[in-house]
Structure formats: C-alpha cells, structure tokens
Structure 1
Amino acid sequence: MTTFSIVLPCYNAETTLLQTLESLRGQTFSNWEAICVDDGSTDGTRKLIQAASIVDARIRLVRNPGKGPSAARNFGAFSSTGAIIAFCDADDIWMPTKLAELVKTFVDPAVDGAYGQIGFFKHTPSDATVFSTVPSGDLSIDLLLGENPVCTMSNLALRRGAFKATGGFDTSMVHNEDLEWLIRLVGGSARVIGVASLHTMYRTSVGGLSTDLSAMSAGRIRAIETAARFGMSPSARSHAIHHRYLARRALRLGETRTLALRHAIAGLAHSPSGFFSPLRRGALTLLGSLGALFLPRTTCQSLFS
C-alpha cells in the first residue's frame, strides 16, 4: 500500500514546478505518489508533469473538475490511495528527510496530523534567513487564531480518515481557507503535532492573494465563525499575535505608512504580553511600525522581508 499521497495543486507553475518535483523525488523515503492536479494552466505546466511522469511513475497528472486550489486539493485528496495525505504547493520545496521523519511520527496511532518547521526564501533555499517556530504541545484552535504555526498547506500531512472527517476544504473561500479547514480539523478532535525539524522551504512573493490584507481579514472572520461552532473564540493573546502578524505583513508589502502602526496598537490594546511574546519579535514589529512613519518604504520592506 502507498504510504504517502502527495496532493499538488498546479496552476501556471512552469517556472517553479520542476524544482518542487525534484524535491519530492529526492526524498529519502520512497513509498509515495504525487497527484499533480492541474487547475486549467495555460503555460507549459501540463507538459512538464507529463514528462516527469514518464521519468517517475509515482508522479501523475489529473485535471481539476472544479476551479481553485481548494477544489484541487479536495479532488486530489479524495482520489488518492495513500494512508497519509501530504499537501505541497507547486512553488515550495521539501527537505530530503521530511517524509522519513513523518513516517516515524505517524508510528504513534494517537497522532492524526503533523507539521514541521518552515524556512522562507525568495530565490533559492540557501538564501533563507527566517524560519518558523514550532510550538510544543498539540495544535489548538487558539494557536491557529493567533499566528498559525502550520503556515502553509505544504507543511501538513495527515491520516486519510482525518481528512475525510473534515469533508474537505470550503471551496467558497478565496483566502484563509486553509485556516478555516484546520480549525474544523482540530475542532473535530484530530490530534495534530509539530515536529521540531526543518521540513519545508516556502517561496515568498510580494504579489499574489496571500498578500491581500483585506482578503485575509474576510477569511479570518469566516475562520472565527467556524471556531465559534466548536465553542471557541479568539483569546486576547491570539488577537494580539494576529495583529502583530498583520503589522509585519503590512511592513513587508510597503503598505500605507500608518497601517502597520494601527495593527501594532490594536495588538497592544488586546494583550501587551501576547504582542511581546516573544519579546524580540514584538519589539522589532513595534519599532518597525514606528519607523514606517518616516523611513523609506523600500527600507521597511527589506527589513521585514
């Protein structure tokens, strides 16, 4: 039986897809299939996948009968055969030992899902200087409503039954659909744990939907509504951490000079201790938000890239 089914949504990804597929083929654990779900690409994405499937039969191309990354992930996951479903985006890169480490993690039958640490890079993984934090303990709704430690779907693997129990991603959402789904996953009693090891390299980009702060806000409202169905609401601490995240995002994007500071003030109003946890991140965010009032935007973007 296939151990891992890797679900890989693809849309006009010809410039990054080969590097992503090579990172899968470079895994030290070899019992996997990669389901590349084309979402209507108009570039050479399909041809690249077809060529890769000739070289490696574990890679296969399917067409998304719906539209959008959520529909693509649902279709790939529900049509997969592996005991464990792992998601990967077409511009991210996996570390060679990721699947081997996950196999050891899933030996524990009480673990339903797992994620690792992420490195953030622009051009090549070697230029990464920022890495995510993997908190101790199980993933919780309150953690998710703060600064989601999973960060990206490329960083998550879970048992097939746990995915099916969620019913899949909400295809009506255009942002934070992964957060809303994770809340349903954890709210449904799935146990998801962090692995303190670098698993995924995330390619950052100034453009794209992930940088749309208004869309992020709308998606968060939906996520909070979902959390409420499980009797949960964001704590003051998670509100503070989320506003800190938005302040840093505003600095990276070079948004209006006051936007980052408004988010920083909102975070401090909710919970000073949450905003300054950890102290270095909170302090740098506040200083950057103040500096954005008079520093060149390019300088702020560089400091918080």
Structure 2
Amino acid sequence: MTVNAVRRTVSVIVPCRNEADHIEAFCRSVAGQQVPAGWQLQVLIADGLSDDGTRKKLQAFCRRDPRFVMIDNPGRIVSCGLNRCIEQAAGEFIVRLDVHTVYAPDYVAQCLATWQATGADNVGGPWKAEGQPGTAGVVQRAVAAAFQSKLVAGGALSRDLIHNGWVDTVYLGAWPKATFERFGGFDETLVRNQDDEHNLRIHKGGGKVWQSASIRSTYFPRAHKMDVFRQYRQYGYWKPFVMKKHGQAAALRHLIPGLFVGGLALLYGLSLLAGLAVSWMPVGPARDVAVWLMLGSSLLLVAGLLAYGAAVWWISGRIAREAGAELKPHLPAVIAAYHWGYGLGSLRGWWDALVKGRPDPSFGRLTRGAAAQR
C-alpha cells in the first residue's frame, strides 16, 4: 500500500462568482497551504455561472493542479455553492474559504489542530479586515477600521482578534464532515446569513462552535461607501428570515439597528400625521393633543438624530486615533452605511418575511464593485 493511499483528506470548499481579477491569485495562495503530515488537500470551487472570464481562468488552473476541481453552481448564491461542494467533498474535515480573504500559510493546519483539540462541531478564526495601503485605499481602510471596532460591531466576538473560546458564530468556518450529516447543509433559501443560520442550528441541536486566534486570515472589505451600504442592507434584509425560521435571534445585536431605524421612522410618521391633524382639526382639546403629539415626536426625532450623530462623530474620533487621522473624514459616512444599511434592510426583511411571506429576488444581487450595478 502506498503512502498516498493511507493519507487523510481535508476538503477546502469555495463559492465564487465573477472573480476574474482575483481567482488566480487566490488559487495560488490555497495551493501553498500547509497541511499536517498524513493529510492531503482537495479544493472544490463552486462557480456561480460567472460571465466575466472567471470560469476560463479557473478551468486552466484546475488542469495544472489536479487537487483543484471546479463545480457548477447553477443556484449562483453562496449557500447553493457550499452545498454542491459538500456533496462532492472527499475529506473527513471541510474548510470553507472566501476569494477576498488572504490566509496565513498554516490556516488549514490550524483549523485541523483546533478541531482535534476541542472536538467542536465548527471552528474558525476571528474576522480581521484590512484596506489597501496608501491614499487610493483610504476609504477601504476606513471601512476596515470601522468593521473592526467593537463600538460599531456591537461587541461581536468574531471581530475580537485575540479571543479564544466558545462563540455563537465564526468567520467562514471549518467542520468535521459529520457536522453536516448531523445538522444538515446550508439553507439554500438564504442569499445572506446562511453561516449564522447554520451556526444557530448547530447550537440549537446541542453542538458547539469554537473560535481560535491561531486561525489567522485577512479580509479585504468593500472599497466604496455605497457598496458597504448595499452589502449591509442585504445582511439586514436576510436576518429576519433566519429569525422567523428559528423563532429567535442568534444575538441581541442583530435586532438593534432595525429597532433604531424603525423607532426613528415611527417618530417621523407620528409627527407627519399629527401635523396633518392639526392643519384640519378645529380649535379644541383634540387639536391641543395633536399639537403636543406633533411637537413631542418631532423633538424626540431630532434628539435621536443628534444623539446618533454625536455618537458617530465620537466613535469616528476614537477609531481615527488608532487607525489614522486621514480616515476621520470618511468614518462617519462609513459607520452610517453599516448601521443604516443593516437597519433599513431589517425593516424591509421583516415586511417581506411576515407580510409577503417570501423574499424579494433583488436582494440577491452581488454588492461588490461593478457587479453591484448589474
């Protein structure tokens, strides 16, 4: 029996779509991943029917390196791509990677070691964001700095670069194949938040998720403020569908942006309705009540907006002192894009989940770069 015949396999799974500018560099980086002695690498990349040249480049790389296999993903979204890869994974351990992330050379090895040490049903590392250096990347650096801030992210442990321990979710994820046999694959009705939903399912089923600071990677976020807004509007939109499915939120922080934006919208609506009532009601007690309602709701609305603006300005200053003063002019808009995008998306998501009973297909579009405009 040869040495290769007794090797154990770790399968890397990757969803992608329209990544012609990045796919070759990504594949080269994965090909250089270190794996422990006795293990071999299998790389399954599910392409969502790309139309920008990604498929041609990916097919060429697969011909050069037989460890790489391209899989068609006619569903085009991440959850479908992940499931198509899992179906064909030969490994007893499965590691998910993303094209827009750079990985430490021992990323896969550390995932394996953490799983073997903890016995967790899912393991992963912290979500570290960085922007490209230099003046040209100043907005992306501001996006990354705000992303990393606990004050912006609501204290999410997945953004804590030194945390080791049990968590509700991790960035990307790595699983023994038995996890999918026990808890199922990813929900293909979800365009976003499929990883959060899967982790919630693991927790509700008695499983555990572990985050290790030794599993290191760097994510490059959106480089434009409107792309960030669109991205987080999608994240917010799909979260109510996860909550409806499970009857609970994975974490309280997921509810706050929607409640904040919804509260301000309610105050604005009350002030308008009260103003209309004042304009046609005759003088009397009822009109006096409408006046007080108009004034009260208007004052609370202005106070809420001023308080939020002051908090964002203060947080921007805190972040800029650590990440660079040149980021401060961009940080307020970036932070608002995160919060308002998520909040507005959540409100629309609750309407579609509870009233319409189905998602809007427009919330499945790509949000990165030129693809966001398609």
TM-score (norm 1): 0.69
- Equivalent residue number for residue 192 of structure 2: 175
Q: List gaps (5 residues or longer) in structure 2.
A: 1-6, 149-158, 262-300, 320-327, 339-374
Q: In 1, Cα distance between the equivalents of 2:167 and 2:87?
A: 24
Q: Alpha-carbon deviation of 1:101?
A: 1.4
Secondary structure of 1:201's counterpart equals strand
Task: Give the Cα separation in 1 of the matches to 2:74 and 2:249.
Answer: 35
1:230-280 deviations in Å (ceiling 9; x for gaps): xx5566xx3389549x99xxxxxxxxxx9xx76x86xx9xxxxxxxxxxxx
Match 1:60 to one of 56, 65, 69: 69
The counterpart of 1:71, out of the listed 74, 80, 87, is 80
Task: Give 3-state SS (helix, strand or coil) of 1:107's partner.
Answer: helix
CA contact (8 A) 1:10 1:39 kept: yes
Give the structure 2 partner of residue 47 of structure 1. Answer: 56
* Contact 2:94/2:174 (<8 A) preserved: yes
Does the 8 Å contact 1:9/1:89 carry over to 2? yes
Q: Given the superposition, is the C-alpha separation of residues 283 and 243 from structure 1 closer, same or farther in structure 2, using an over 3 Å criterion?
A: farther
Distance 1:240 1:217 in 2: 8
Question: Is the CA contact 2:95–2:174 (under 8 Å) kept in the aligned structure 1?
Answer: yes
Q: Is the 8 A contact 2:10 2:95 kept in 1?
A: yes
Amino acid at match of 1:223: V
1:239 aligns with 2:284: no
TM-aligned CA distance change 1:48 to 1:113, over 3 Å: same
Q: Does residue 81 in structure 1 map to residue 90 in structure 2?
A: yes
Partner of 1:300: 332
Separation in 2, partners of 1:240, 1:87: 24
Work out the CA distance in 1 between the residues paired with 2:254 and 2:227.
Answer: 25
Match 1:97 to one of 87, 106, 128: 106
Contact 2:11 2:95 in 1 (8 A): yes
1:120 paired residue among 129, 136, 140: 129
Aligned length: 254
Partner of 1:196: 213
Check 1:67–1:209 CA distance in 2 against 1; reply closer, same or farther (3 A cut).
Answer: farther
| Unaligned segments of structure 1, at least 5 residues | 145-149, 248-257, 269-280, 289-295
Q: Supply the distance in 2 between the matched residues of 1:234 and 1:286 (Cα, whole angstroms).
A: 30
Residue of structure 2 equivalent to 1:137: 165
Q: 1:7 to 1:172 in 2, by over 3 A?
A: same
Distance 1:210-1:34 versus aligned 2 partners, 3 A rule = farther
Larger gyration radius, structure 1 or structure 2: 2
Contact kept? 2:121, 2:202, Cα under 8 Å: no
CA contact (8 A) 2:165 2:212 kept: no
Measured at CA, do residues 26 and 241 of structure 1 come closer, stay the same or move farther in structure 2, by a change above 3 Å?
farther
In structure 1, the residue matched to 2:236 is 217
**Match in the other structure for 1:10:** 16
- Asked whether the 8 Å contact 2:130–2:219 carries over to 1, the reply is yes
For the 8 Å contact 1:119–1:198, the answer to whether it is kept is no
How far did residue 67 of structure 1 move? 3.0
Hey, what's the Cα distance between the residues in 2 that align with 1:68 and 1:209?
19
1:18 aligns to what SS in structure 2?
helix
SS at match of 2:210: strand
Determine the C-alpha separation between the residues in 2 that align with 1:123 and 1:241: 32
Letter of the aligned partner of 1:39 in structure 2? G
Q: Is the 8 A contact 2:129 2:221 kept in 1?
A: yes
3-state secondary structure, aligned to 1:32: strand
- Which aligned pairs between 1:10-49 and structure 2 lie closer than 5 A? 10-29=16-35, 31-49=40-58
CA 1:210/1:115 → structure 2, altered by over 3 Å: closer, same or farther?
farther
Identity %: 20
Distance 1:28 1:93, change over 3 A: same
SS state at 2:113 partner: helix
- SS of the residue corresponding to residue 33 of structure 1 reads strand
Q: CA RMSD in A?
A: 3.8
Q: Secondary structure of 2:117's match?
A: coil
Letter in 1 for 2:194: E
Q: As a proportion of its length, which structure holds more strand?
A: 1
* 1:37 shift after superposition: 1.0
**Aligned-partner Cα distance in 2 for 1:187–1:282:** 39
When structure 1 is superposed on structure 2, of 71-80 and 23-32 the one drifting more is 23-32
Structure with greater proportional helix content: 2
Quick one: distance in 2 between partners of 1:64 and 1:3? 23
Cα distance in 2, alignment partners of residues 301 and 216 from structure 1 = 18
